[in-house]
């Protein structure tokens, strides 16, 4: 079944025979609206708005259901209207083949992309134009949705006419038919300069130079009378070429897009998303931090779209600070400031006041680049132009949204790791021929946040540095990446300049908050940001809107490491946020400690996992004594997660700063254990502190960790809490080889709901059981749920031994393979 919207609504079968039209005006309008999104679900609210406008009658949704029922009864076999909670969907076989609008847009895009092959482009575009049987949506234009859609399609048709004409002129041959087609099109848009330029070229190519020159005079006079403007430079160039009797080299009525000097890498998903947004939205803004590649993506997508695509660069326009609020005051609401003049200059218009007249009746996409420093004035002008010019679409790039109703946002952040690595390798090969990769490229790109500009700046340094030197030097990234393209705008020449540009657009209070947020590593919750930095929701939202901070899917606020490093340079020495950061995370660790020995164990482990980078950063802050207390609170977490190797270095630094006392002797001993020390002065001093204690241990894990790491120490008194009592039972059970004590300990750990202790008791009990495999299986499940890699490896090897003793070599081999793989992933001996 074929559906026709490019003209009156009609249907035909596979042979082309017409099928009787469906229903009355409302049903036909509903069908047309669903066909525009054929194969996609249209929300009920959007259908109601499309059929009934801004003021739908009472019970509009019920009326819609009734119209859908009527439509279903009249549709031919094989075509259905499906309902889901998301809305209604018209199910057709293949929209690209069965709906002329979809087919037309697909052919138009394919034809535009085939510009390098004019024969193919002309054929595709000719086929697209052949689908038209009259004005789009001709008999349903009274429906509220139809006017804008029809205007869009009619404007797109003119774009395709122009692209087709350009392709036909490039092919050459008999252009008589082309002249006739252009004559019909210019009746609709007599002041559309690219169309008139193509008409002049076609007339000149068929030997009708006098008529071509007459067309120019006609357009010149009309522009002067109606707009007070002269012909564009592009049309004047065509006029000159006709006078000289040769072909005009350019036929666009807006300046061409900047030609890229390098290939485009990555962003496949973003390209698809942006293309889809530009097909349905009139204003799209690419938002993201500096260096994310917003301009390059906008140009890449714009170059593949049919019709006029213009480029306005606001980078050189003078801004006055955050959002350039004062810029909007200095320029009038009609866009008479520097932004308006930049638009006019890019479009070849004399003065910003003539922009609407110049764009009226034209279907064009304007890419407006670098809006962040003049966002307020740009928003005023863009809103005015969109309201006055139905065929205009605007794609802006900015570090902050324009904030206009109807604006669609596409955030642009880091490249995917594979794309960032691929970009580095390609750019590196350009400066070091033969470069194909290195083991530390992934680490380097991750350290640069996957920002395309930072990756490219790093690749350029391979002229004089190695990958190892680049990766090792990221702590001084701003000095390292201080040489870029000397022809680029100043704000894009170095990594520091990129961040400085964003920083300069912040209000003083925003800069102060951003500097304080730099104390966090790995992001922060809203609560942590409020407690440590005094950040309220509005202040955080402002930094998010200006691309200084991003909000992750888990709700955490995070700075890119490059921005965080720059902000940290601006944090005053002695700022209270530093001490507040340590205090907050020590309190968190102390709150988590007892919870790690109860039923909430997994939830608290996950919470500490999310804050791991902040907890390690807190070790270097606060007094040495506070550091000892933090280590003591975190020791169970580090043990359960197998993280002691990761924290050994900062803990060893803490040991060198502290003057231990008996009062914090237990905390000092835990610090020695976390540093991975097994002998020496620190171990001897810690042993003395523990041996001299007369009161119970404060940290229930101390005795266990000391005995397993260094050896048993007589006289240690465990605490009187239930977990310590159960752990003591396990120790006594091992010493006495008592199954009864293991059973008692197991019951107590089960009552507590603590997984590690339960698994430990199960493992001990298995040694006394005639059927140890179920006990070992349960223990293994518990250890795996905790992520305790060392215990998992040990238990797998032990279970393999049990399998071997039973003659089950297959299961034993499987367990030993799993043990080796688990050890490899955790960096443990296999």
Distances (CA, A) of 24 to 19, 21, 54, 67, 312: 15, 9, 22, 10, 46
State pLDDT tens for residues 652-707.
999 988 888 888 999 999 999 999 899 899 999 999 999 888 888 888 889 889 98
pLDDT of residue 793: 92
**Domain parsing of the chain, residue ranges:** 2-129, 268-411, 417-498, 506-571, 577-709, 722-826
- Prediction pTM value: 0.62
Q: What is the mean pLDDT of residues 461-472?
A: 83
Lowest mean pLDDT among 14-23, 40-49, 102-111, 589-598: 14-23
Residue located via tokens 């002309």:
122
pLDDT at residue 491, rounded to an integer: 57
pLDDT at residue number 744: 95
Q: What is the pLDDT of residues 452-462, one digit of tens each?
A: 888 888 888 88
Looking at residue 762, its pLDDT comes to: 95
Tell me the CATH number for domain 2-129.
1.10.10.10
Position 325 scores a pLDDT of 38
How far is 10 from 2, CA to CA, in rounded Å?
Answer: 8
Average pLDDT over residues 734-747: 93
What is the residue-averaged pLDDT of the chain? 85
Q: Does this chain's domain 2-129 share its CATH topology with 506-571?
A: yes
Q: Which three-class secondary structure state does DSSP give residue 285?
A: strand
Six-digit token string for 740: 């009864």
Judge contact between 557 and 601, C-beta under 8 A: no
**The CATH fold of domain 722-826:** 1.25.40
For residues 804 and 112, the model is more confident at 804
Q: How many whole angstroms from its chain centre is CA 441? A: 21
Write the DSSP symbol of residue 610.
H
Q: Are strands 392-398 and 364-369 parallel, antiparallel or unpaired?
A: parallel
Q: Specify the DSSP class assigned to residue 591.
A: H
Minimum mean pLDDT range among 49-63, 215-229, 305-319, 634-648:
305-319
Query: What's the whole-number mean pLDDT along residues 372-398?
Result: 90
- The pLDDT score that the predictor gives to residue 115 is 63
Arithmetic mean of pLDDT, 471-487: 69
729 pLDDT higher than 90:
yes
The answer on pLDDT for 588 being more than 90 is yes
How much is the average pLDDT of 239-247? 73
Q: Is the pLDDT of residue 26 over 90?
A: no
More confident of the two residues 112 and 687: 687
Contacts of 504 (CB under 8 A, 6+ apart): 321, 373
Q: Which CATH class is domain 268-411?
A: alpha beta
Q: Is the pLDDT of residue 584 over 90?
A: yes
Measure the CA–CA gap between 437 and 424, rounded to whole angstroms.
Answer: 9
Q: Which two tokens stand for residue 96?
A: 């690209």
Which of the two residues, 14 and 90, has the higher pLDDT score?
90
Alpha helix locations (H) across 130-258?
A: 146-171, 176-188, 193-205, 209-226, 233-244
Kindly state the DSSP code that residue 536 receives in the 8-state scheme. -
As a whole-number percent, the residues of the chain with pLDDT over 70 amount to 93
pLDDT greater than 90 at residue 50: no
Please name the helix (run of DSSP H) or strand (run of DSSP E) that holds residue 294, with its range, or none.
helix 294-303
What is the per-residue pLDDT for 830? 58
| H or E, element range at 335 | none
For the segment 356-369, what is each residue's pLDDT rounded down to a tens digit?
A: 877 877 778 899 99
- Is the confidence at residue 319, as pLDDT, over 60? no
pLDDT score for 94: 84
* pLDDT tier at 503, thresholds 50, 70, 90: confident
Lowest-confidence pick of 329-343, 540-554, 717-731: 329-343
| pLDDT reported for residue 251 | 42
Query: Of 85-89, 446-450, 569-573, 808-812, which one has max mean pLDDT?
Result: 808-812
pLDDT digits (tens, 9 = 90+) for 635-648: 999 988 888 778 88
The CATH fold of domain 506-571:
Arc Repressor Mutant, subunit A (1.10.10)
């Amino acid at each position: 079944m074929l559906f026709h919207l490019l003209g009156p609504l009609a249907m035909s079968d596979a042979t082309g025979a017409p099928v009787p039209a469906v229903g009355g005006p409302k049903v036909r309008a509903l069908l047309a609206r669903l066909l525009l999104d054929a194969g996609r679900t249209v929300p009920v609210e959007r259908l109601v708005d499309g059929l009934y406008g801004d003021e739908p009658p009472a019970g509009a949704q019920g009326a819609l259901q009734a119209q859908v029922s009527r439509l279903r009864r009249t549709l031919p076999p094989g075509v259905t209207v499906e309902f889901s909670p998301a809305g209604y969907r018209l199910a057709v076989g293949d929209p690209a083949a069965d709906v002329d609008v979809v087919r037309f847009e697909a052919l138009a895009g394919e034809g535009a992309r085939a510009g390098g092959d004019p024969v193919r482009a002309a054929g595709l575009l000719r086929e697209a134009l052949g689908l038209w049987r009259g004005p789009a949506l001709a008999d349903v234009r009274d429906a509220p949705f139809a006017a804008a859609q029809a205007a869009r399609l009619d404007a797109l048709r003119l774009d395709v006419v122009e692209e087709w004409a350009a392709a036909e002129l490039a092919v050459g041959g008999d252009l008589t038919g082309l002249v006739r087609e252009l004559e019909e099109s210019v009746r609709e848009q007599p002041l559309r300069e690219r169309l008139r330029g193509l008409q002049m070229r076609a007339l000149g190519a068929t030997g009708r130079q006098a008529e071509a020159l007459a067309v120019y005079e006609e357009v010149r006079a009309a522009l002067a009378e109606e707009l007070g403007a002269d012909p564009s430079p592009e049309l004047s160039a065509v006029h000159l070429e006709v006078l000289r009797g040769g072909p005009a080299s350019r036929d666009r009525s807006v300046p061409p897009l900047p030609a890229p000097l390098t290939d485009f890498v990555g962003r496949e998903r973003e390209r698809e998303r942006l293309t889809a947004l530009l097909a349905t939205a009139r204003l799209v803004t690419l938002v993201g931090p500096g260096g994310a590649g917003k301009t390059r993506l906008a140009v890449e997508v714009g170059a593949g779209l049919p019709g006029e695509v213009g480029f306005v660069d606001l980078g050189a326009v003078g801004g006055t600070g955050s959002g350039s609020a004062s810029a909007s005051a200095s320029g009038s609401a009609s866009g008479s400031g520097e932004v308006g003049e930049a638009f006019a200059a890019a479009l070849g218009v004399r003065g910003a006041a003539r922009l609407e007249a110049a764009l009226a009746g034209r279907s064009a996409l304007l890419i407006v680049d670098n809006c962040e420093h003049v966002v307020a004035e740009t928003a005023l002008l863009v809103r005015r132009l969109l309201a006055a010019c139905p065929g205009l679409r605007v794609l802006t790039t900015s570090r902050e949204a324009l904030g206009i109703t109807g604006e669609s946002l596409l955030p642009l952040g880091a490249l995917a790791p594979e794309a960032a690595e691929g970009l580095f390798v390609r750019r590196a090969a350009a400066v070091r021929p033969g470069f194909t990769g290195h083991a530390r490229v992934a680490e380097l790109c991750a350290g640069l946040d996957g920002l395309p500009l930072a990756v490219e700046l790093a690749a350029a340094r391979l002229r004089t540095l190695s990958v190892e030197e680049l990766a090792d030097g990221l702590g001084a990234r701003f000095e390292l990446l201080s040489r870029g393209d000397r022809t680029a705008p100043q704000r894009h020449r170095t990594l520091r300049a990129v961040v400085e540009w964003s920083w300069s657009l912040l209000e003083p209070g925003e800069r102060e908050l951003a500097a304080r947020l730099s104390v966090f590593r790995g992001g922060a919750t809203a609560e942590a940001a409020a407690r440590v930095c005094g950040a309220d929701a509005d202040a955080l939202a402002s930094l998010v809107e200006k691309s200084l901070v991003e909000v992750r899917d888990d709700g955490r606020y995070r700075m890119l490491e490059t921005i965080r490093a720059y902000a940290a340079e601006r944090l005053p020495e002695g700022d209270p946020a530093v001490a507040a950061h340590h205090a907050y995370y020590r309190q968190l660790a102390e709150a988590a400690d007892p919870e790690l020995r109860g039923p909430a164990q997994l939830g608290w482990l996950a919470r500490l996992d999310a804050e791991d980078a902040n907890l390690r950063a807190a070790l270097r802050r606060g007094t040495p004594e506070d550091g000892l207390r933090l280590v003591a609170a975190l020791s169970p977490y580090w043990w359960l997660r197998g993280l002691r190797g990761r924290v050994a270095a900062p803990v060893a630094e803490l040991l060198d700063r502290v003057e231990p006392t008996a009062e914090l002797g237990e905390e000092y001993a835990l610090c020695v254990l976390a540093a991975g020390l097994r002998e020496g002065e620190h171990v001897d001093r810690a042993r003395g502190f523990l041996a001299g204690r007369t009161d119970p241990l404060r940290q229930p894990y101390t005795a266990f960790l000391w005995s397993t790491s260094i050896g048993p120490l007589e006289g240690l008194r465990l605490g009187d809490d239930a977990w310590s009592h159960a752990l003591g039972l396990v120790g006594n059970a091992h010493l006495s080889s008592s199954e009864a004590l293991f059973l008692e300990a197991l019951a107590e750990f089960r009552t507590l709901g603590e997984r590690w202790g339960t698994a430990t008791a199960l493992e001990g009990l298995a040694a006394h059981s005639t059927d140890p495999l179920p006990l070992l299986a349960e223990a293994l499940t518990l250890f795996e749920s905790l992520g305790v890699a060392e215990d998992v490896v040990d238990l797998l090897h032990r279970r393999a031994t049990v399998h071997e003793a039973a003659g089950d070599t297959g299961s034993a081999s499987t367990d030993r393979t799993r043990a080796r793989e688990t050890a490899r992933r955790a960096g443990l001996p296999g």
